[in-house]
Structure 1
Amino acid sequence: MGQSKSKLSPSDLHDLVSCTEFTESEIEAWYKSFMRDCPSGTLTLEEFTGLHYELFPNVQPSAYAKRVFKTFDTNQNGMIDFREFMCALSVTSRGSFNEKLRWTFNMYDTDNDGSVCLNEMEDMIKAIYKLLGDDVVSMVLTDGLTPVQRARLMFARMDKDNDAQVNFNEFFTAAIEDPKLVMLLQPGKNKPQKDEQDKE
């Protein structure tokens, strides 16, 4: 599905309907748009970052865009094809709270080892602050904490067993227990359900 085609094949279309929350007509519309912007059929990090600059012209989205790109690029080949794009878009726009939180956790877990260390969290919070910009940060987060201070506070709340690593269950539990934390981890209107927590 990474090669340039004017139209999705029936099998590709069926595959995307089965693995996303989009309808056939929505997928076809997204495909036309994707191929218009990415005639090669894939999206590079540079192109992806450029799109973020168009969305956030007055801030610094590059660090955040790099994290998001890594999470979209599920096969880690340095490019996002249409299938990867649609699967990620489905989770981020229409997934359940728990699916979105899993996706967010993967964005924090930059080395893909199944846990988040303090450095990873600090880097991610710094990227979020740059993305939002000082004005928005000061409106949403009124306590005046720096990115590093906030990351350390969040990490301490999550790392229940004090092993200097936050696994997904700890990440999930913290999101349930602290609604304000959820605002920074995953903006969304869905509420977490404890019975849907991943068991790992």
Structure 2
Amino acid sequence: MGLNQSKNIKPKMLEELLQITGFSAQEIFEWYQDFHKEYPQNHLTVREFKKLYANFFPSGDSNRFAEHVFRTFDLNNDGTIDFREFMCAISVTSSGRMEQKLRMAFNIYDVDGDGYITRQEMLEIFNAMYKMLGNSIRLDDDVSTPEKRTEKVFRQMDRNMDGKLTLDEFIDGVKQDPSILRLLNVF
């Protein structure tokens, strides 16, 4: 890739990102310049992503949680986050509709990607989250451990009590009781 090509976003990608993200051309161009400057290879590796998360959560161990978020952002499952994937993630997390954010959160919790969140998957994410946060926050007794938090979420969301959450149960649960969002607290 020539130097000029690597510093300028391709018109086709720009057009696609304008439609997908809702950002202006100027905003996308600025994001692209910063992304390219920080990651000249035009993608973000899981190692780099973990470093990013470690900067945001210096008092805990964010490695495992960062892996789960990385997996969710890596839309084509190639082991990297390219600029397009990065912008889609930024768009949803910063200005996406509630349902988009909930779909993304669901995908983080659905570790194996089978369309359901099991107790074990949710517990895995909460364990990773608690390690990441370390002792930086004080928690109510009913959610003081990953196990307690998992049980509380399932009690409130698993309407048919089958031990797994569908996307619909997940979204409906949050819509019916917005306090659940605090229990899930992903972003």
Counterpart for residue 10 of structure 2: 9
Structure 2 segments unaligned to the other structure (5+ residues): none
- What are the superposed Cα offsets for residues 111-164 of structure 1, whole Å, 9 maximum, x if unpaired? 11111001100011112222223231x1xx322521112112212322111222
- Contact 1:101 1:185 (C-alpha < 8 Å) held by counterparts: no
Q: What secondary structure does 1:152 align onto? A: helix
C-alpha RMSD of the superposition: 1.6
Distance 1:147 1:50 in 2: 24
- State the percentage of identical aligned residues: 40
Using the alignment, how far apart are the partners of 1:123 and 1:187 within structure 2?
A: 13
Matches within 5 A, 1:45-60: 45-60=46-61
* Structure 2: distance between partners of 1:158 and 1:62: 28
SS of 2:44's partner is strand
Bigger drift between 81-90 and 157-166 goes to: 157-166
Deviations 1:48-74 (A, max 9, x none): 001111222222111111111011001
More divergent stretch after superposition (125-134 vs 40-49): 125-134
Which amino acid in 2 is paired with 1:23?
A: S
1:25 counterpart residue number: 26
**1-side partners of 2:97 and 2:19: how far apart?**
16
| Cα distance in 1, alignment partners of residues 80 and 119 from structure 2 | 28
Aligned to 1:135: 136
Q: For this pair of structures, how many residues does the alignment match?
A: 182
3-state SS, counterpart of residue 43 of structure 1 = strand
- Could you tell me whether the CA contact under 8 Å between 2:116 and 2:165 is conserved in 1? yes
The secondary structure found in structure 2 opposite 1:169 is helix
Give the equivalent residue in structure 2 for 1:167.
Answer: 166
Aligned residue in 1 for 2:179: 180
Tell me what 1:43 maps to. 44
Closer, same or farther: CA 35–69 of 1 in aligned 2, 3 Å: same
Contact 1:121-1:155 within 8 A present in 2 as well: no
Displacement over 6 Å in runs of 4+: none
Q: Call closer, same or farther: CA 1:57–1:186 in 2, change over 3 Å.
A: closer
Q: Which blocks of at least 5 consecutive residues in structure 1 are unaligned? A: 189-200
**Could you report, residue by residue, the CA deviation over 1:69-98 in whole angstroms, capped at 9, with x for unpaired residues?**
011001111111000000111011100111
Which position in structure 2 is the counterpart of 1:107? 108
1:75 aligns with: 76
Deviation at 1:187, TM superposition (A): 6.4
Instruction: Say whether the 8 Å CA contact 1:121–1:151 is kept in structure 2.
Output: yes
Once the 2 structures are TM-superposed, how far is the Cα of residue 179 of structure 1 from its aligned partner?
2.7
Q: CA–CA distance in 1 between the matches of 2:185 and 2:21?
A: 19
